[in-house]
Amino acid sequence: MDRRRFIKLSALTGSSATLASCGNPEYHLIRFVPEDKLTPGIAVWKPSICPLCSAGCGLNVRVMDGEVEVLRDGKLGLTRMGLAKKLEGLPDHPINHGKLCTRGLAAAEITYHPDRVGHPLKRAAGPGARGDGKFEEISWDQAIGELVAKLDATDPKKLAMVMRRQPGLRAEFMRQFAMKFGAPEPIAFEVFGDDVVRRANELSFGSYQLPTLDLADARYVISFGADFLGTWNSPVAQNVAYGQMRQGRPGVRGKFVQIEYRMSQTGANADEWVPVRPGTEGVLALGLANVIMKSGARKAADAGRAGTLIEGWGEGLANYTPQEVEKKTGVPAARIERLAKEFAEQRPGVAFAAGAAVAQTNGLFNALAVNALQALVAEVHFMPGVQVARPRKIEDVKDAQVLLVDGANPVYASPQAAKVREAIAQIPYIVSFGIFIDETSVMADLILPDHSFLESWVQAMPESGARTAVVSMAGPVMQPLHETRSTPDVLIDVGKKLKKPVDLPWKSFEEMVKAGPLPARAQAERPLPRGEAGKFAEPQFDGNPNEYAFHFLPYPSQALLDGSLAHLPMLQELPDPLTSAVWSNCVEINTQTAEKLGIRQGDIVEVASTQGAIRVPAFPSPGIAPDVLAMPAGQGHENFTRYATGRGANPIKILAQITEPETGAVAWAATRVKIRKVADADGSLVLVAGSLTDYPPEHPHR
Ligand code: SF4
């Protein structure tokens, strides 16, 4: 046994010793020999990368020595080691420029979470059903042996891999493993995905990726549904650039208009908030383009290829006069004329679409229309050298014999109607690399826990956020706390032990990261869409409007995103910027509508679609259209650590299985619902700021 592994049993000192003397066996902790050489009290700053979204912000991590509970050789004990104490933005990082969002600040909690999986687990033998949460600890040798035996006995084509969408070498590693094993490409899963925007950008501008918004230099910005200051794309980079647009140029303050039917955090920052009918955002964009072209400020040809995709563009969009557009969108013609005039005059202008505007059955049309408006006034920038994986449906796992899950939780984050839970449940063998038990990993036969990001080699290649290509890489900032292993290293080991070995060119993920990014692969050109993507089609909604009177808008939570961060107590504690809700969620309903229905703040209501119902407290708000109900995603977990389990409701569950036809992306804003009060307020809605009852009466929206 080497010195680092030597376990020294010793009497504990100070308060721990006092506790030990109480006779509680829980406090008879082992003290391990310190693993790091650090000067007590002196902080060291080490770089890393925030893993919580695909923006790839650079971190500066303050590391100091400290005492911590660790697992070594299957035993729990104490040791002194270098510990990450605080995360800050990495100064001069080209994406986040030294800043972080609140989610990034909370990311250290992942490493120290009390419910982390600290060693390999195997589903317990016995009569229990899959998903009952009963696991037993096994050794790494045993765990790797089991996986090798399973893969040896599996037809390579029957191996499915699901991971979260995170561009960079980790995704590339998984792809190479799958390819060399003979399996299909891994599925990059995300519920609030951007594949419609990427496809529209490919058609309009030739780039299958998200744009880098030119906010810093803009004088006029129109966002069609994008919560770009909150949760969409690269929020920190966009906040920095937005600050520059507003206050960074003496004497120039760019104007910002947000078009959406439920006020987001981004909308609350806008100079003008313009509510439109759901699914008509593209019509409004073409109405603005009609006025601009008619005024002679810009010509149809100025939009180039993006304009040619829109029916009637070359003739000046005769069907999109402000009067016609008012009928479809509900935005007054005079307002359309004024906004168009301002947008044409105050250049450079930036227009873009995301969020609910593209999460419709006609989402591709909306995105193409906004692209054409943008191209009419200014060019669009994309980060060079980026390669984004094409989408595959999560339902494709249904024929797999073995499923490997890396960082995704499709059972929680898929509509009930998609039957993802059922599809996964019938896969004979499931392996999760998760470091927490969640709704998907609880169904696993084997859990092989990864290190936390602070204990790992990390690498990121974001698709947006800067004008130049950005590749970030960093080593571990601290020793692993538990008996976890780097997932790519585990797969390298597994690959070597297979009867038909998977021959990867790296001995470890560290070696792969140090070798640098791989050359971009050539991607096949995709044909133009079937049908007429550039022609307006009425958005389709699931649910008869006579019975289901409201449009339902689930949206990524500012704190918890799609629910993947609900296990972090600091983020549960973060008040929602619009409702101030903490540790809970609610359904937002227009104040006047709520009054008509006799619904008051905190009352428990049932929100039902054709696919099911959820019960949740109500939150009357003036910042939402009268025929819309909105709800943040993130809560409603059945199994996701002590902090998230059994808290609130999951709006994704009741979405209909309705998609944008060209991309197959879930049209998550295309479900209709009904609402009824089922009980008086029961205290389950926790608001930091009290209520909105003192607000002045609202003006009619439309
Ligand atoms: S935007 Fe926030 S959550 Fe996303 S990578 Fe940056 S700091 Fe992390």
pLDDT tens track for 308-357: 999 999 999 999 999 999 999 999 999 999 999 999 999 999 999 999 99
If you take atom 6 of ligand 1, which residue's CA is the nearest one? 57
Mind listing the pLDDT tens digit for each residue in 43-60?
Answer: 999 999 999 999 999 999
Q: Mean pLDDT throughout 375-382?
A: 93
Same domain, 342 and 405: no
364 φ, ψ (degrees, to nearest 5): -65, -40
Which atom, in ligand 1's list, is nearest to the CA of 237? 1
Same domain for 108 and 125: no
CA of 51 to the centre of ligand 1 (A): 7
Q: Is pLDDT at 12 greater than 70 in this prediction? A: no
Segment 166-190 shows an average pLDDT of 94
Average pLDDT over residues 487-491: 98
pLDDT digits 0-9 by tens, 430-477:
999 999 999 999 999 999 999 999 999 999 999 999 999 999 999 999
Q: pLDDT tens digit string along 389-403?
A: 887 888 889 899 999
Give the mutation target among 52, 557, 565 for probing the ligand 1 site: most ligand atoms within 8 A of CB: 52
Sequence-distant (6+) residues with CB within 8 A of 53 are 103, 231, 235, 561
Considering the domain architecture, whether residues 202 and 108 belong to the same structural domain is answered as no
Same domain, 658 and 603: yes
| CATH number for the domain harbouring residue 431 | 3.40.50.740
Are 90 and 135 within one domain?
Answer: no
Instruction: Say which CATH number the domain at 78 has.
Output: 2.20.25.90
Cα–Cα distance for residue pair 417/592, rounded to 1 Å: 32
The model's confidence at residue 6, banded by pLDDT at 50, 70 and 90, is very low
Is the confidence at residue 1, as pLDDT, over 60?
Answer: no
Atom 8 of ligand 1, residue of closest alpha carbon: 104
How many angstroms separate the alpha carbon of residue 426 from the centre of ligand 1? 35
pLDDT tens for 586-621 read: 999 999 999 999 999 999 999 999 999 999 999 999
Ligand 1 mean position, distance from CA 269 (Å): 20
On whether both 338 and 238 belong to a single domain, the answer is yes
| Residue 377: pLDDT over 90 | yes
Q: Which of 39-43, 114-118, 580-584, 608-612 has the lowest mean pLDDT?
A: 39-43
Could you tell me if residue 530 is inside a domain? no
Q: What's the domain count of the chain?
A: 4
Lowest-confidence region among 278-292, 364-378, 514-528: 514-528
Q: Is residue 196 predicted with pLDDT exceeding 90?
A: yes
Question: How close is the Cα of 105 to the center of ligand 1, in Å?
Answer: 9
Are 240 and 365 within one domain? Answer: yes
**pLDDT of 411 above 70:** yes
**Are both 645 and 506 inside the same structural domain?**
no
> Does residue 28 have a pLDDT over 50?
yes
Least confident range from 147-156, 167-176, 226-235: namely 167-176
Among 66, 89, 112, the domain-final residue is 112
Q: What is the 384 CA–ligand 1 centroid distance (Å)? A: 21
CATH of residue 323's domain is 3.40.228.10
Q: How confident is the model at residue 689 (pLDDT cuts 50, 70, 90)?
A: confident
pTM (two decimals):
0.91
What's the per-residue H, E or C state across 70-94? Answer: EEECCEEEEEEEEEEEEEEECCCCC
Q: Which of 86, 90, 99, 101 to mutate to test the pocket of ligand 1 (most atoms within 8 A of CB)?
A: 101
Least confident of 159-173, 656-670, 685-699: 685-699
Q: Which range of residues forms the domain containing residue 641?
A: 550-687
Rounded distance from Cα 57 to ligand 1 centre (Å): 6
Q: Is residue 632 in a domain?
A: yes
Q: Are residues 396 and 338 in the same domain?
A: no
Residue 319 alpha carbon to ligand 1 centre in Å: 42
Domain end residue (candidates: 53, 81, 112): 112
Residue 280 Cα to ligand 1 midpoint, Å, equals: 31
Q: Tell me the pairing of strands 220-224 and 349-353.
A: parallel
Q: Which of 59, 92, 112 is the last residue of a domain?
A: 112
Can you give the pLDDT at residue 11?
30
Closest atom of ligand 1 to 235 CA is: 1
On whether both 207 and 234 belong to a single domain, the answer is yes
Q: What pLDDT score does 27 carry?
A: 52
What number of other Cβ atoms are within 10 A of residue 442's Cβ?
A: 23
In-domain check, residue 509 = yes
Nearest CA to ligand 1 atom 7: 104
pLDDT at 94 over 90: yes
CA 657 centroid distance within chain: 20
Ligand 1 atom closest to the CA of 49, numbered from 1: 5
- The atom number, within ligand 1, closest to the CA of 561 reads 3
Report how far residue 552's alpha carbon sits from residue 531's, in angstroms, rounded to the nearest whole number.
28
What residue's CA is closest to ligand 1, atom 4? 53
Picking from 453, 572, 435, 409, the residue whose alpha carbon sits closest to that of residue 56 is: 453
Protein residues whose CB sits closer than 6 Å to any atom of ligand 1: 50, 52-53, 55-57, 96, 100-101, 103-104, 235-236
Q: What is the mean pLDDT of residues 630-642?
A: 97
pLDDT tens-place string over residues 521-551: 666 666 666 556 788 999 999 999 999 999 9
Look at residue 183 and tell me whether its pLDDT is greater than 60. Answer: yes
Residue 446: per-residue pLDDT? 98
Distance 580 CA to ligand 1 centre (A): 21
User: Ligand 1: which atom is nearest the Cα of residue 95?
Assistant: 6
Q: What is the 3-state secondary structure (H, E, C) of 332-368?
A: CHHHHHHHHHHHHHCCCEEEEECHHHCCCCCHHHHHH
